[in-house]
């Protein structure tokens, strides 16, 4: 289970898109996972053949849990049983996984095992490599151990369904799950509620036992129940944001810088560029600002990366998180990968696609787990200044207010220019105000030459 | 396109961009961005849909004219002349 943002502790495996025997390549979407914020498409990190699915649909699994085994089909190489999240942690900490003994069931290496190895606790170092390395299994699959995250060990229920049950005061033990493995879904709860509610409304018939599919048709849900469910989703998102932002403000000593940037050259260039284009081909100023940030990161790389275990770790690539506000409330900040390498046209296409999927469709796991810096853009309905809160463990967030015409003095002359107020919220553990100032100045320099973006 | 067709198209397009929009409550003279909380990406998607549905080009300098319901209806009617045989 990949970490799809620092606020995520576990996710529900909603759907598998592959089955044992299927060939997959790195980047293929293999499953869909539901978090508090969105349904996320999980991409695989490996090429190979799906050998075994360890977490069934409908089950919740903690970050770091192994969801499935992918082998190389036929000629299994010895392979440490370890999730990508833990593998990355090991890389960051410089731990050789072949020297680590997994203490999880079936010898799977956990985050704690790697951390123990990194801190030099002898129990793990002395272990012979053979004990820690399991070949891709050809033997019968180990039984799936129940996820430790389950609050009700005998009831499989999604948080959404659990919240809905609480709201409707439905006793979960009275609900028959129709989801995979008997998991209780939201519709099961709503059906149970409908079955209970209908006779009461009529005031005559005794409540039928709230089981079985025939009790109520699954499709026409009461409108109130649908609204309730979306309210619960919003509450879940609110809680996720609350937790993450509280952590950020508690742990990260922010410093803030701001500067007014003359955008007139960029805007004039954009006007000319967009003049002969169909709307679908036009570029928004937001794309210019994103690209300028990505290129400025090349000048001041201290802003791009993470604060982990007491030190700065530079990001691999410049993956710019874009704060997208959602219509129903809340926000999410998935990234566009390698923004520095994208043309403005490609970046604009990626941005439109990302915003659309953030608001309506599905995001991909790498978009949630990879941002190395975040940009929050107030847009043209907003105010002139945005003071950001950093997404941990990132170390910087760039804020842009709305683009405004303002009086601008330059070279002894006063004129009216399109301007934007750019702010930087940065982690003082990772950088100082001097670097932050250089970074904002680099953004300014980049937008003065839009043709070079 | 006549006024009725233009209005229908505009409202449908708006609802695609912002699904929670209540067409009946739209003030015809207030910009959509303000009353419907559309950002620049939403508005671009709205313009793209209008262009594609009507087969016309709406250049950026005209954005102001298509940003209210009344303005956009007039704009669309003017931009999509009814063929002569239908107008008779």
pLDDT at A139: 41
Candidates B18, B38, B51; nearest CB to A279: B51
> If pLDDT is split at 50, 70 and 90, which confidence band does A274 have?
very high
Least confident interval from A113-122, A177-186, A215-224, A261-270: A215-224
Using the Cβ of B22 and the Cβ atoms of chain A, whether some distance falls under 8 Å is answered with no
pLDDT at site A216: 39
**A203/B40: higher pLDDT:** B40
Contact list, B18 vs chain A (CB under 8 Å)? 327
- Residue A408: name the closest of A417, A399, A396, A420 by CA: A417
Question: What CA–CA distances, in Å, run from A361 to A65, A325, A352, A438, B53?
Answer: 25, 14, 12, 38, 23
Chain B partners within 8 Å of A283 (Cβ): none
Which chain B residue has its CA at the smallest distance from A276's CA?
Answer: B59
Across A352-368, b (16+ Cβ under 10 Å) vs e yields bebbebbbeeebbbbbb
Of A271, A274, A381, the CB nearest to B37: A381
Each residue of A313-347: pLDDT tens digit? Answer: 999 999 999 999 888 788 899 999 999 999 999 99
State the pLDDT at residue A382: 80
Asked if A279 and B33 come within 8 Å (Cβ–Cβ), the reply is no
Cβ contact A274–B44 (<8 Å): no
pLDDT above 80: residue A443: yes
Degrees, nearest 5: CA angle A295-A298-A303: 100
**Tell me: the pLDDT tens digits for A80-98?**
577 777 777 777 777 777 7
pLDDT exceeding 90 applies to what percent of chain B?
67
| CB-nearest partner of B40 from A275, A278, A380 | A380
Q: How confident is the model at residue A228 (pLDDT cuts 50, 70, 90)?
A: low
Q: Which conformational region is residue A3 in: left (phi greater than 0), alpha (psi within -120 to 50 degrees), or beta? A: beta
Predicted ipTM of the assembly: 0.87
Distance from CA of A43 to the nearest CA of B (A): 27
Statement: residue A308 has pLDDT above 80: yes
Chain A contact for B55, CB < 8 A?
no
Query: How far B64 CA sits from the closest chain A CA (Å)?
Result: 13
Of A179-183, A358-362, B61-65, where does the model show the most confidence?
A: B61-65
For residue A83, the model assigns a pLDDT of 75
Higher pLDDT, A201 or A51: A51
pLDDT of residue A226: 46
**Lowest pLDDT segment from A147-156, A264-273, A275-284, A384-393:** A147-156
Q: Write b or e for each residue in A195-232: b if 16 or more Cβ atoms lie within 10 A of its Cβ, otherwise e.
A: bbbeeeeeeeeeeeebeeeebbeeeebeeebeebbeeb
- How distant is the Cα of B49 from the closest Cα of chain A, in angstroms? 9
CB A320 within 8 A of CB A332: no
Cβ distance of A351 and B41 shorter than 8 Å: yes
Tell if the CB–CB gap between B51 and A352 is shorter than 8 Å: no
pLDDT at A133 over 50: no
Q: Which of B19, B53, B60, B64 to mutate to test the interface with A (most CBs of A within 10 A)?
A: B60
- Residue A145 has what pLDDT? 39
In B, minimum Cα distance to A271 occurs at B60
What is the pLDDT confidence band of residue B84, given thresholds at 50, 70 and 90? low
Higher pLDDT, residue A112 or A366: A366
Mean pLDDT of A279-303: 97
Give the largest Cα separation in chain A, rounded. Answer: 86
A310 pLDDT above the threshold of 80: yes
Q: Of A46-55, A56-65, A119-128, which range is least confident?
A: A119-128
In this complex, do A381 and B47 lie within 8 Å of one another by their Cβ atoms? no
pLDDT classification of A209: cutoffs 50, 70, 90: very low
Give me the pLDDT at residue A138, please: 43
State residue B72's pLDDT score: 96
Contacts of A351 in chain B (CB under 8 A): 41
Mean pLDDT across chain A:
80
**Which own/partner pairs from B63-72 qualify as long-range (CB within 8 Å, at least 24 positions apart)?**
B67/B31, B67/B32, B67/B33, B67/B43, B68/B28, B68/B29, B68/B30, B68/B31, B68/B32, B69/B7, B69/B10, B69/B11, B69/B26, B69/B27, B69/B28, B69/B29, B69/B32, B70/B28, B70/B29, B72/B6, B72/B10
Domain boundaries, chain B: 3-87
Q: Residues of A with CB below 8 A from B40's CB?
A: 284-286, 379-380
A residues 346-365 closer than 8 Å to B (CB): 351-352, 355-356
**Of the candidates B18, B57, B58, which has its C-beta nearest A327's C-beta?**
B18
A271 interaction partners in chain B (CB closer than 8 Å)? 60
Judging contacts by C-beta atoms under 8 Å, the chain B residues touching residue A278 are 48, 51, 57
At A386, is the pLDDT very low, low, confident or very high (cuts 50, 70, 90)?
very high
Per-residue model confidence as pLDDT tens digits over A415-427: 999 999 999 999 9
Are A381 and B18 an interchain contact pair (Cβ–Cβ within 8 Å)?
no
Task: Determine contact: B20 vs chain A, CB below 8 A.
Answer: yes
Residue-level pLDDT at A9? 81
Query: Could you tell me the CA-to-CA distances from B54 to A231, A278, B19, B31, B78 in Å, in that order?
Result: 37, 13, 21, 21, 12
Look at residue A314 in the predicted model and tell me its pLDDT: 96
Please choose, from the candidates A423, A417, A416, A449, the residue with its C-alpha nearest in 3D space to the C-alpha of residue A262. A417
- Interface touch B40/A284, C-beta < 8 Å: yes
Which CATH superfamily, name and number, covers B3-87?
A: ACP-like (1.10.1200.10)
How do residues A134-143 score in pLDDT, each as one tens digit?
334 444 444 4
Domains of chain A plus CATH, in order, are: 10-135 (2.40.50.100), 159-236 (no CATH), 254-452 (3.30.559.10)
Query: Which one has a higher pLDDT value, B39 or A294?
Result: A294
Task: Specify the range with the lowest mean pLDDT, choosing from A180-184, A323-327, A354-358, B10-14.
Answer: A180-184
How many A×B Cβ pairs under 8 Å?
Answer: 47
pLDDT given at position A179: 65
Query: How close B39 comes to chain A (CA, Å)?
Result: 6
| Top-ranked range on mean pLDDT: pick from A43-57, A116-130, A436-450 | A436-450
User: A275 CA to chain B: closest CA distance, Å?
Assistant: 7
Q: Given a cut of 70, is residue B17 above it in pLDDT?
A: yes
pLDDT at A152: 39
- Out of A274, A355, A381, closest to residue B60 by CB: A274
Residue B7 has pLDDT above 70, yes or no: yes
Average the pLDDT over A359-383 and give the result: 89
Task: Provide, rounded to the nearest whole percent, the portion of chain A with pLDDT above 90.
Answer: 45
Kindly write down the DSSP assignment for every residue of A228-276, as one continuous string: HHHHHHHHHHHHHHHHHHHHHHHH--EEEEEEEEE-HHHHHHHHHHHHT
The pLDDT score that the predictor gives to residue A206 is 41
Q: CA nearest B51 in A: which residue?
A: A279
A109 to chain B, any CB pair closer than 8 A? The answer is no
């Amino acid at each position: 289970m990949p970490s799809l943002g620092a606020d995520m502790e576990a996710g529900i495996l909603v759907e598998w898109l592959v089955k044992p025997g299927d060939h997959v390549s790195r980047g293929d979407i293999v499953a869909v996972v539901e978090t508090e914020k969105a349904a996320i498409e999980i991409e695989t990190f490996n090429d190979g053949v799906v050998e075994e699915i360890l977490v069934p649909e409908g089950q919740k699994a903690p970050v770091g849990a192994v969801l499935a085994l992918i082998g190389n089909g036929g000629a299994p190489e010895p392979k440490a049983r370890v999730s990508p999240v833990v593998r990355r942690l090991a890389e960051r900490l410089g731990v050789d996984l072949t020297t680590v003994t997994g203490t999880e069931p079936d010898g799977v290496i956990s985050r704690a095992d790697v951390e123990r190895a990194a801190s030099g606790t002898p129990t793990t170092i002395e272990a012979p490599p053979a004990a820690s390395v399991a070949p891709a299994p050809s033997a019968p699959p180990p039984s799936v151990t129940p996820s430790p995250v389950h609050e009700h060990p005998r009831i499989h229920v999604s948080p959404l369904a659990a919240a809905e049950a609480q709201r409707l005061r439905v006793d979960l033990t009275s609900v028959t799950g129709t989801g995979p493995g008997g998991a209780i879904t939201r519709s099961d709860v709503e059906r149970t509620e409908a079955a209970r509610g209908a006779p009461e409304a009529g005031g005559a018939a005794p409540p039928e036992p709230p089981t079985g599919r025939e009790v109520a048709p699954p499709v026409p849900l009461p409108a109130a129940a649908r609204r309730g469910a979306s309210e619960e989703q919003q509450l879940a998102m609110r809680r996720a944001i609350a937790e993450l932002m509280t952590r950020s403000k508690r742990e990260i000593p922010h410093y803030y810088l701001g500067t007014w940037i003359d955008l007139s050259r960029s805007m004039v260039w954009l006007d000319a560029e967009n003049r002969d284009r169909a709307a679908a081909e036009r570029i928004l100023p937001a794309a210019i600002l994103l690209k300028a940030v990505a290129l400025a990161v090349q000048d001041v790389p201290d802003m791009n990366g993470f604060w982990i275990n007491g030190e700065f770790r530079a990001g691999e690539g410049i993956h710019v998180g874009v704060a997208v506000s959602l219509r129903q409330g809340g926000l999410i900040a998935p990234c566009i990968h390698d923004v520095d390498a994208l043309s403005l046209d490609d970046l604009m296409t990626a941005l439109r696609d990302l915003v659309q999927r953030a608001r309506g469709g599905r995001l991909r796991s790498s978009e949630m787990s990879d941002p190395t810096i975040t940009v929050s853009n107030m847009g043209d309905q907003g105010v002139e200044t945005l003071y950001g809160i950093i997404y941990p463990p990132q170390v910087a967030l760039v804020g842009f207010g709305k683009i405004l015409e303002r009086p601008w003095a330059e070279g002894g002359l006063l004129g009216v220019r399109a301007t934007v107020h750019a702010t930087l919220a940065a982690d003082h553990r990772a950088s100082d105000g001097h670097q932050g100032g250089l970074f904002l100045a680099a953004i300014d320099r980049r937008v003065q030459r839009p043709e070079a973006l | 396109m006549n006024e009725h067709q233009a209005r229908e198209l505009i409202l449908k397009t708006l609802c695609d961009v912002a699904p929670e929009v209540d067409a009946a409550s739209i003030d015809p003279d207030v910009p959509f961005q303000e009353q419907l909380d559309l950002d620049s990406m939403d508005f671009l998607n709205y313009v793209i849909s209008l262009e594609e549905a009507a087969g016309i080009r709406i250049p950026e300098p005209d954005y102001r004219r298509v940003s209210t319901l009344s303005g956009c209806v007039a704009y669309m009617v003017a931009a999509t002349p009814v063929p002569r045989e239908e107008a008779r």
